[in-house]
Amino acid sequence: MVEKRPKLLLIINMKSFKSTAWLLPQPVLIIGTYDKEGKPNAMNAAWGGQWDMHEIIISLGSHQTTDNLAVNPEFTVAFATAETMVASDYVGIVSGRNTPDKMEKTGWTSEKAPNVNAPLFKDFPMTLECRVKQKIDESETGYYLVAEIVNILCDEKYLAEDGKPDVEKMELIIFDPIHHTYIQLGKKVGKAFSDGKKMK
Ligand SMILES: Cc1cc2nc3c(=O)[nH]c(=O)nc-3n(C[C@H](O)[C@H](O)[C@H](O)COP(=O)(O)O)c2cc1C
């Protein structure tokens, strides 16, 4: 039997919080760029997502990365893992603007990405190669960056039997904006566009 509870009671059991950036879950994106001399840089971004089938969006502040994109509008987006977590956080709290050895500190190895003029950090299982398409609401504090996904690279170690990237193998981390922690993704629990059919 379905229990009938007055709506008021349900609201009393919920705690309210004022509006803030708590959309869940948030990715840990490592944005790789070259400066005007071709020196690699990386930053951490959580405010990003899929924009269209072949496009992503990132809410970008004013950083070394922003300076780099102004001279060279191509970049990579790697997905941070448990193994790269400490250095991924480091590139999110230190700027290439005032820390010339920022990338040396990470210990990451990079080479030029095959399809864009940006560094490919080889310590990550999967990376998007991207090109800036549009800067929305641009000001001196940053802009919303819409970028085309030119190509996707996945280390062969992380491929599933069907030849596509296997997310479960990657030990990806997400950002928890509530307690400012990183959480490792867990196990697959269902099949999208499929399990729901049981209820049709
Ligand atoms: C968890 C986390 C999430 C972040 N998300 C963003 C973001 O979405 N957009 C942004 O502009 N900066 C974000 N930052 C801040 C930049 O990563 C940071 O300012 C970095 O030092 C910029 O590096 P750069 O100046 O070398 O480019 C984030 C930092 C952390 C630690």
Residues 6+ apart with CB under 8 A from 92: 43, 44, 45
Q: In one letter, which amino acid is 96?
A: G
Q: What is the pLDDT of residue 18?
A: 97
- Please check the confidence at residue 49 and state whether its pLDDT lies above 70: yes
- Please check the confidence at residue 1 and state whether its pLDDT lies above 70: no
Chain centroid, CA 78 distance in Å: 7
- What percent of the chain shows pLDDT beyond 90? 94
Residue 84 burial class via C-beta count within 10 angstroms: exposed 0-12, middle 13-18, buried 19 and up? buried
Q: How confident is the model at residue 12 (pLDDT cuts 50, 70, 90)?
A: confident
Average pLDDT, the chain: 95
Q: How confident is the model at residue 8 (pLDDT cuts 50, 70, 90)?
A: low
- Please check the confidence at residue 51 and state whether its pLDDT lies above 70: yes
Place of tokens 């790789």: 32
- Is there a contact between 176 and 188 (Cβ–Cβ < 8 Å)? no
Q: What residue ranges do the domains of the chain occupy?
A: 25-199
Q: How confident is the model at residue 131 (pLDDT cuts 50, 70, 90)?
A: very high
Q: Give the CATH class of 25-199.
A: mainly beta
Measured from CB, residues less than 6 Å from any atom of ligand 1 are 41, 43-47, 59-61, 63-65, 89, 92-97, 175
The model's pLDDT over 133-187, given as tens digits with 9 standing for 90+, comes to 999 999 999 999 999 999 999 999 999 999 999 999 999 999 999 999 999 999 9
The number of the ligand 1 atom at minimal distance from the alpha carbon of 47 is 8
CA atoms within 13 A on the CB side of 114: 7
The number of the ligand 1 atom at minimal distance from the alpha carbon of 61 is 11
Q: What angle do CA 129, 170, 190 make, to 5 degrees?
A: 105
